[in-house]
């Protein structure tokens, strides 16, 4: 098909208007790319995206990502949820408790040794916040549309063909053309399957259930999370139950619907009670199947979010991982399309994101391993409890859950290289994150050095000078559009050669 006004060739076609596809589309559109999202579902609303099912914990990295694009204040839900799962439906006017768990073992936030996080400033954004899928998607849809993204719903991508310069995508009985295609179409990704991506990993240990029910005798169930001889159940609200049944995922894989009788049988067995369910309103199942695409790119086709990696939702990491993919990929793909990318920039999407995916999959497998209903797992679980009672133990666990220790292995000597830029607060009260709303690369110069200003202009970077309240000993830093420090210096006379080399790794010199 030839491109016409009715059938334009988009820079990027994104498969899926889930949170990752929407966030990626926003990043691309912010960088002036034309983006078309094709979404399978006609209706963006679903009970599974609403409370209590749709509750999602965002970690420090996702909170920063939203903040750095001016979206944080649009997320209202966290201001009303006090304690997730406990008061989720009875939204209250209080800030949430920022806390977390590993394999159901709650950690004590007060014991964290924050001195180990020496680059986290008092002006940093929250370490965690609670959102709801529907709210997140609504906020991101609004932003995407305001940036000019076209979203077509009710169109499931079935296959595509790619040539040297474009991808033709088939959805329903229509076809669409893009220079690039990104599969953000979730765990069963059609793009991943049609693209022949290998999806390697491990099979599930359990079927997880989330269900809204009426109980005749709720007092028979203990409140909170209960690990039992046969599994785990969590009763957080009178009518909401989460269960883990270690059946190697067989019920989930059977594709059978959850009936009241089945839910009751599983609940009775796991809780070792004769509790009675009188009504089953909504129920869904999930597993801990862990798989990751062995490559994230095949020619002009890329994967991000659940399309690239799946794992148990325990400890809530999947969405965070996916939003991180989008933040990492957006500016790199835009620069590639606009011929502003130095050699190898797009490949760094895989080399940076794939190792983080491995870590998250291992994190979720480790949790499953110590939750299994057998004596060996219980023994390990007890050791973990002890370790999580130590200062170093809780600091390590919290750092992993909140994403505070997450970084990329980038070339460079400064310890901050590859880490998220601290939220420096400048003397006029403006914070670093607020200077990143436009998604540009930044050269930060606390010493007002004229040479750095010239270099910023050469590479098309935003030059920011001025002093900050807490500078952490840093005199200058090069910050990528995704907020990652590509180079930093503590020296009053920063090494220009090093800076020039670092700039050239991520940005192309301007030709005019
Ligand atoms: C019970 C549960 C609790 C969770 N809690 C957390 C948490 O607290 N924190 C966290 O970080 N993560 C959590 N997760 C994981 C998180 O929900 C996912 O990782 C996240 O939704 C992935 O986003 P995505 O956009 O990649 O995929 P999805 O949210 O699955 O979106 C994919 C989109 O693509 C569309 N689509 C599918 N096929 C096609 C097609 N062929 N063509 C076009 N469109 C298509 C779908 O309709 C959908 O809109 C949880 C998951 C579950 C199941």
Please give the backbone phi and psi of residue 488, each rounded to the nearest 5 degrees, phi first. Answer: -150, 155
Q: What's the CATH fold of domain 432-506?
A: Glutaredoxin (3.40.30)
Compute the distance between CA of residue 357 and CA of residue 292 in angstroms, rounded to an integer: 7
C-alpha torsion sign, points 173, 14, 334, 298:
negative
Compute the distance between CA of residue 275 and CA of residue 54 in angstroms, rounded to an integer: 26
Q: What mean pLDDT value characterizes the chain? A: 93
Q: What is the mean pLDDT of residues 377-382?
A: 95
The domain limits of the chain are 9-200+291-366, 209-287, 432-506
Task: Give 383 Cα–ligand 1 centroid separation in angstroms.
Answer: 33
The residue assigned the tokens 């995508």 is 169
Compute the distance between CA of residue 277 and CA of residue 225 in angstroms, rounded to an integer: 19
Compute the distance between CA of residue 440 and CA of residue 446 in angstroms, rounded to an integer: 18
Cβ atoms 270, 209 nearer than 8 A: no
- Regarding predicted confidence, which is higher, 224 or 136? 136
Question: Which residues, listed in sequence order, are joined to residue 57 by a DSSP beta bridge?
Answer: 130
E strand intervals along 370-502:
442-445, 462-465, 476-479, 485-489
Question: Which residues, listed in sequence order, are joined to residue 420 by a DSSP beta bridge?
Answer: 484
pLDDT tens for 269-280 read 999 999 999 999
What are 117's two structure tokens?
């996080």
**Adjacency order of strands within the sheet including 442-445:** 462-465, 442-445, 476-479, 485-489
Going by pLDDT thresholds of 50, 70 and 90, the confidence category of residue 331 is very high
Percent of the chain with pLDDT over 90: 85
SS (H, E, C) 148-186: CCEEEECCCEEEEEECCCCEEEEECCEEEEEEEEEECCC
Cβ atoms 34, 8 nearer than 8 A: yes
pLDDT of residue 238: 86
pLDDT tens for 238-255 read 899 999 999 999 999 999
Closest CA to 447 of 474, 408, 423, 418: 474
CATH class of 209-287: alpha beta
**Range 9-200+291-366: architecture per CATH:** 3-Layer(bba) Sandwich (3.50)
Percent of the chain with pLDDT over 70: 94
Task: Give 318 Cα–ligand 1 centroid separation in angstroms.
Answer: 8
Alpha helices in 119-215 (DSSP H): 133-146, 190-194
Task: Give 186 Cα–ligand 1 centroid separation in angstroms.
Answer: 5
Show Cβ contacts of residue 118 under 8 Å, excluding neighbours closer than 6 positions.
472
pLDDT tens for 428-460 read 999 999 999 999 999 999 998 888 999 999 999
Residue 29 reports pLDDT greater than 90? yes
What are 188's two structure tokens?
């069963």
Residue 1 reports pLDDT greater than 50? no
Going by pLDDT thresholds of 50, 70 and 90, the confidence category of residue 364 is very high
User: 204-238 b/e with 16+ CB inside 10 Å = b?
Assistant: bbbbbbbbbbebeeeeebeeebbbeeebbbbbbbe
Instruction: State the closest ligand 1 atom to the C-alpha of 56, by its place in the atom list counted from 1.
Output: 8
Q: What is the mean pLDDT of residues 409-425?
A: 96
Going by pLDDT thresholds of 50, 70 and 90, the confidence category of residue 82 is low
Ligand 1 pocket, CB under 6 A = 15-21, 38-41, 56-57, 156-157, 184-186, 190, 210, 286, 305-306, 313, 316-320, 322
Cβ atoms within 10 Å of 10's Cβ, excluding its own: 25
Q: How far is CA 301 from the centre of its chain?
A: 20
Task: Give 217 Cα–ligand 1 centroid separation in angstroms.
Answer: 34
pLDDT tens for 340-363 read 999 999 999 999 999 999 999 999
Q: What is the mean pLDDT of residues 476-503?
A: 96
């Amino acid at each position: 098909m030839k491109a016409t006004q009715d059938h334009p060739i988009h820079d990027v076609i994104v498969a899926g208007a889930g949170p990752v596809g929407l966030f990626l589309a926003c990043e691309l559109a912010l960088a002036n790319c034309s983006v078309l999202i094709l979404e399978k579902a006609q209706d963006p609303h679903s009970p599974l995206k609403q409370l209590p099912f749709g509750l999602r914990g965002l970690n420090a990295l996702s909170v920063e990502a939203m903040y750095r694009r001016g979206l944080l204040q649009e997320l209202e839900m966290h201001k009303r949820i006090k304690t997730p799962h406990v008061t989720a439906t009875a939204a209250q006017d209080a800030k949430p408790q920022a806390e977390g768990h590993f394999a159901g073992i709650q950690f004590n936030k007060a014991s964290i040794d924050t001195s180990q996080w020496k680059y986290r400033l008092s002006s940093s954004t929250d370490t965690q916040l609670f959102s709801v899928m529907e709210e997140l998607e609504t906020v991101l849809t609004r932003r995407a549309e305001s940036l000019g993204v076209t979203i077509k719903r009710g169109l499931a991508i079935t296959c595509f063909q790619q040539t040297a310069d474009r991808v033709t995508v088939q959805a329903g009985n229509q076809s669409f053309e893009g220079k690039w295609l990104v599969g953000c179409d979730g765990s069963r990704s059609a793009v991943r399957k049609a693209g022949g991506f290998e999806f390697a990993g491990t099979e599930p240990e359990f079927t997880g259930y989330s269900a809204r029910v009426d109980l005749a005798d709720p007092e028979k169930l203990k409140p909170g999370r209960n690990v039992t001889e046969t599994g785990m159940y969590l009763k957080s609200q009178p009518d909401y139950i989460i269960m883990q049944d270690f059946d190697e995922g067989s019920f989930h894989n059977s594709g059978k619907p959850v009936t009241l009788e089945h839910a009751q049988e599983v609940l009775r067995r796991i809780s070792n009670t004769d509790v009675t369910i009188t009504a089953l309103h909504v129920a869904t199942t999930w597993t801990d199947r862990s798989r990751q695409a062995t490559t994230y790119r095949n020619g002009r086709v890329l994967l991000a979010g659940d399309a690239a990696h799946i794992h148990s939702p325990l400890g809530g990491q999947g969405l965070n991982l996916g939003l991180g993919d989008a933040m990492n990929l957006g500016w790199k793909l835009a620069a590639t399309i606009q011929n502003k990318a130095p050699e190898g920039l797009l490949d760094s999407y895989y080399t940076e994101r794939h190792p983080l995916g491995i870590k998250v999959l291992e994190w979720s497998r480790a949790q499953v391993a110590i939750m299994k209903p057998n004596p060996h797992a219980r023994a390990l679980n007890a050791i973990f409890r002890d370790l999580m009672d130590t200062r170093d133990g809780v600091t390590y666990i919290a750092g992993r859950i909140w994403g505070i220790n997450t970084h990329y292995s980038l070339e460079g000597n400064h310890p901050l290289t590859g880490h998220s830029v601290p939220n420096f607060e400048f003397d006029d009260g403006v914070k670093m994150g607020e200077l990143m709303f436009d998604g540009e690369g930044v050269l930060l110069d606390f010493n007002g050095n004229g040479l750095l200003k010239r270099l910023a202009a050469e590479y098309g970077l935003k030059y920011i000078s001025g002093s900050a309240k807490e500078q952490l000993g840093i005199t200058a830093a090069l910050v990528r559009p995704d907020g990652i420090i590509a180079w930093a210096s503590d020296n009053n006379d920063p090494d220009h050669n090093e800076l020039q080399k670092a700039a050239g790794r991520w940005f192309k010199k301007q030709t005019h």
